[in-house]
Amino acid sequence: MADELSALIAGLTQAQKTISPKYFYDETGSALFDEITKLPEYYLTRTELDIMRTHIDEMASLVGPQASLIEFGSGSSLKTRMLLEHLDDLAVYVPVDISEEHLLASQRRIRDAFPHIDVLPVVADFMHPFQLPDPPTMPIRNVVYFPGSTIGNFEHDDAVDLLRVMHEEAGAGGALLIGVDLQKDPSVINAAYNDSAGVTARFNLNMLTHINREFGSDFDTSFFEHRATYRPDQGRVAVELVSMKRQDAQLGAETLSFAKGETILTEYSHKYTLDGFADMAAMAGFKVGHVWTDARQWFSVQYLVRS
């Protein structure tokens, strides 16, 4: 808690004020993200699911029998369920998440739906290597699963570091199945992060409500505004909260001053080219085994193997 507060203050006292995207996901924020995934403009989840549906048999046969599936994140999404339904004789499913609460809830749901699958959750910050649990039966290979283009939240060097952790957890003969959003017409991307119903705006602003509740700060959410801009030259969306006037906010012992128009960067969402992502994967020791995309090449699901 004290560590979290000092990290928050550190981010908010930089020249470019920043808050980690992890603060999106309190109960309200998780429900709003769920709503986002159903918005007409938010193509990511729908497209990734379509790709999975179309190619699930091929994906399952690459993973092969008696694999250990290690999901980075607490799982229980539709995509995870689809994989669990199709994988042949899975040795174990290992969801890895920093939140014990999220893990236990998702473990319960997976056990209910798939009583024959062994679930061994791991509480860990997956940015750093962690110990895998002893599986009940010896897996033929470890396959790390990282859906949703969550990799896009990380800047280049951090993304490579995270891929290196996945490379290590996959071990010899292992692989990574990952969802990766692709560069496309900027108007499509901008619409996805500026939906007409304003759900993404509420999702972004809820971060301040969440922080006010958890840290007793007094950000005035009525004087911040959502902004999301795709920069094709940078291949990423910057999601920001813009201060609509000169104002102060109290956070712990720190008084934060905002100029009118000053921004808090709350998230990057990187969009890749297939080559650009392959280069990044190569820096972590992966080579691209297989890439599935939709007909418009808006999104990709990639099977990376250790090179």
Kindly list the residues in this chain that would bind ligand AVJ in the complex (CB under 6 A). Answer: 36, 44, 148-150, 152-153, 193, 200, 239, 267, 269
- Residue whose CB is less far from ligand AVJ, 149 or 206: 149
Shortest approach of ligand AVJ to residue 298 CB, angstroms? Answer: 12
Residue 294 Cβ, how far from ligand AVJ at the closest point, in Å?
Answer: 16
Q: Is 288 left (phi over 0), alpha (psi -120 to 50) or beta?
A: beta
Neighbouring C-beta atoms of residue 159, cutoff 10 Å: 20
Nearer to ligand AVJ, 141 or 236 (CB): 236
Q: Which is nearer to ligand AVJ, 139 or 152 (CB)?
A: 152
Residue 1 CB, shortest distance to ligand AVJ, in Å, is: 25
Question: Is 102 within 8 Å of 74 (Cβ atoms)?
Answer: yes
- Give the position of tokens 């790390």: 144
- Cα gap 144→176, rounded to integer Å: 5
Compute the least distance from the CB of residue 33 to ligand AVJ, in Å: 6
Indicate the length of the chain as a whole number: 307
Residue nearest to ligand AVJ (CB): 269
Write down the least CB distance from residue 165 to ligand AVJ, Å. Answer: 18
DSSP 249: E
- Residue 160's nearest CA partner among 292, 282, 54 is 282
Between residues 193 and 258, which has the closer beta carbon with respect to ligand AVJ? 193
Bridge partners of 142, per DSSP, are 68
Among 289, 299, 306, smallest CA distance to 43 is for 299
Cβ pair 91, 58 in contact under 8 A? no
Task: Give whichever of 169 and 267 is closer to ligand AVJ, judged by the CB atom.
Answer: 267
Smaller CB separation from ligand AVJ, 56 or 180:
180
**C-alpha dist (Å) from residue 144 to 60, 75, 78, 129, 189:** 13, 12, 17, 13, 27
* Residue with Cβ nearer ligand AVJ (91 or 191): 191
Residue (37 or 212) nearer to ligand AVJ, CB: 37
Cα radius of gyration (the chain) = 20
CB of 239 to ligand AVJ, least distance (A): 6
Of the candidates 123, 143, 1, 18, the one whose C-alpha atom is nearest the C-alpha of residue 68 is 143
DSSP state for residue 50 in the 8-state scheme: H
CB of 270 to ligand AVJ, least distance (A): 8
Quote the CA–CA distance of 99 and 205 in Å, as a whole number: 22
